Structure 1
Amino acid sequence: MNNLMQTFALIEMSITCAAVIILLLQKTSAQPFPVIVKVLLILLIANLFFWPLGLGMELPLVAYVRGVVGDLSIVTMLLLWTSLLPKNKPAPFAFKFALALIAIIFYPLALGLGMMDPYAWGYGSIGFFIAVLFFALVCGLAHWSKGVWIIAIGILAWAGHWHESANLWDYLLDPFLAIWALTGLIAALYRRRRDKARSGYLFRPG
């Protein structure tokens, strides 16, 4: 059973590595990649990461990647995977704001700053579980259905012990997701300030 979980974890990380590389390649391309090209690239790159290729390495490349970054949360993984879909709807500003706020509060407390340890809530706290459901409800009210089912899959993965961790936090949040939310929030605020400044310059008297 443990070997099976390890295999699934390596497959997940292989696909995730492929998704990251494709997104980086897409940034350098003037035209979006067709769906068939993305599928072929995922199959090719994920296989390169998953199978041992020799080159002096005893393990597949993905094993070394996982050893450095650990298991990503289900939310991070699904956000990366779905970003390759042709009609992907970006995460709304409110989601990034809420996620960044949670991360700013959560990580210092979880690392021992203060008397409260929110990480312990992930081991079956009913209040925390209700808060997660409420967060998913807010995503639905904000007309971001993808956020609802991503959180739902994260909860189901936790309930089914899909990863080694038994803590719900590990299925919903990780440092990479927190950094993504913070940088996205800062970038969005910068764009709004820049657009406001440009608007004021264009419409000022004279």
Structure 2
Amino acid sequence: MKNIMQTIALLEMALTCATLLVWLLQRNFEAQMPVAARIILALLLTNLFYWPLGLFMQLPLAAYIRGVTGDLSVVSLLLLWSSVLLDRIDPRNTEAHFVPMGFKVAIVVIAFSFYPFALGLGMLDPYGWGYASIGFLIAVSIFAAILAIANWSKGTFIIALAILAWSMHWHESANLWDYLLDPFLMLWALLACISSMRRKRRERLQSGFLFRAG
């Protein structure tokens, strides 16, 4: 069973690295690739990261990268894979991957509330809630329902799959938090929020300049 989990983890990391390369290629060449082409290219690159290259490497590239980053949450994986491989991408516009700003802000708020206490600040231990806490599971389900009400069904689907993966012990961790949140997801959401605030500020300044009297 442990070998199966490790194989799954390596495949996930290999596909994640391949997906990031596909995204970088589209950004650098400013080209819109068809969905089928993106998927095929990602699968080909996945093999590059999954299989040992021999010579100077005894392990796959994905194993070395995983050793540094650890396992990503299911939410991070599904957001990345679906946004880059399945959604329509405008390489000149990073906001083309439509993820509601409210979701990004929620991730930042939750992460900044969670990590300090999980790392030992204070007596509260929110990480412990992830071990089969009915209350926490209900709270996550309510959050998923709010995403559906906000008309972002993709987010609801992603949260539901994360819960399903946790219930099936898809990863080595038995804690629901590890399926929902990771530092890279927090960093992405934080940078996206900062970028959005800067862009809105720049737009206000430009609007004020254009419509300035005289």
- TM superposition score category, shorter chain reference: over 0.9
In structure 1, runs of 5+ residues without a counterpart are none
How many angstroms apart in 2 are the aligned matches of 1:186 and 1:195? 14
Residue in structure 2 matched with residue 90 of structure 1 by the alignment: 98
How many angstroms apart in 1 are the aligned matches of 2:199 and 2:156? 27
Amino acid at match of 1:28: N
Q: Does 1:18 pair with 2:42?
A: no
Residue in structure 1 matched with residue 74 of structure 2 by the alignment: 74
TM-score (norm 1): 0.96
Residue in structure 2 matched with residue 150 of structure 1 by the alignment: 158
SS in 2 for 1:32: coil
Q: Does 1:39 pair with 2:35?
A: no
How many angstroms apart in 2 are the aligned matches of 1:152 and 1:126? 15
Task: Give the drift of 1:55.
Answer: 2.8
List per-residue Cα deviations over 1:120-170 (Å, max 9, x = no partner).
110111221111011111111111110000000000000000000000000
Residue in structure 2 matched with residue 197 of structure 1 by the alignment: 205
Pairing 1:158-197 to 2, within 5 Å after superposition: 158-197=166-205
Task: Give the drift of 1:90.
Answer: 1.4
Comparing 29-38 with 192-201, which one deviates more in the overlay? 29-38
How many angstroms apart in 2 are the aligned matches of 1:98 and 1:13? 25
Amino acid at match of 1:60: P
SS in 1 for 2:5: helix
Amino acid at match of 1:76: S
How many angstroms apart in 1 are the aligned matches of 2:138 and 2:210? 48
How many angstroms apart in 2 are the aligned matches of 1:8 and 1:27? 29
How many angstroms apart in 2 are the aligned matches of 1:137 and 1:29? 38
How many angstroms apart in 2 are the aligned matches of 1:72 and 1:95? 18
How many angstroms apart in 2 are the aligned matches of 1:68 and 1:51? 18
Task: Give the drift of 1:39.
Answer: 2.0
List per-residue Cα deviations over 1:44-68 (Å, max 9, x = no partner).
1100111111131111111111111
How many angstroms apart in 1 are the aligned matches of 2:29 and 2:150? 32
Taking only the aligned residue pairs, the percentage that are identical comes to: 59
Task: Give the drift of 1:35.
Answer: 2.1
SS in 1 for 2:29: coil
Q: Does 1:28 pair with 2:36?
A: no
The runs of 4+ residues in structure 1 deviating greater than 3 Å are: 86-89
Amino acid at match of 2:14: S
Task: Give the drift of 1:79.
Answer: 0.5
Task: Give the drift of 1:175.
Answer: 0.4
Residue in structure 1 matched with residue 123 of structure 2 by the alignment: 115
Amino acid at match of 1:132: V
How many angstroms apart in 2 are the aligned matches of 1:55 and 1:104? 43
Count of residues paired in the alignment: 206
List per-residue Cα deviations over 1:3-38 (Å, max 9, x = no partner).
111111111111111001111111112221122321
How many angstroms apart in 1 are the aligned matches of 2:14 and 2:46? 5
Pairing 1:123-134 to 2, within 5 Å after superposition: 123-134=131-142
